[in-house]
Structure 1
Amino acid sequence: MLIYNVFGRHIGIKREGERWLVFRADLTERKFSRLYDIVIPDAMAEEEIPGWLGDIFHEAASARHPDVERIE
């Protein structure tokens, strides 16, 4: 699973077959809850995911959490 810090929120992304699945990530307990309302296009390359997440969640950006970055 790819784990991103998305403006202070941890999001997990997992490739399953030809689809990308999106999860809310609790890294303290290593628990992941599926998010169905966030869609990543199936054809999107892994290196494009941070930009896509930035576009979706840009309103959550703050001085403390200004970026989307992969942490795992």
Structure 2
Amino acid sequence: MIELGIMFGLMGVTAVALIVKLLRRNRTENADGLLIEQASRVLARNDRVTYSSTAVHNSSPTVRDHYRP
């Protein structure tokens, strides 16, 4: 029973520490960091669409493409 109390106590302390860490993060003074982050998200989304499994494996074979499963 003591072990359960210790386990739940440690989980609670960890949760409180994570909440405090998130609330004390530094905020940006200007929007430059937010604009960079937004551009990175847009680029990552475009890459996920361009290089997805469907886009890569369902392309039409070319003249040089001799192997086609």
Q: Which has the higher contact order (CA 8 A, sep 6+)?
A: 1
- TM-score with structure 2 length normalisation? 0.20
Q: Whose helix fraction is larger, Structure 1's or Structure 2's?
A: 2
Greater strand content: 1
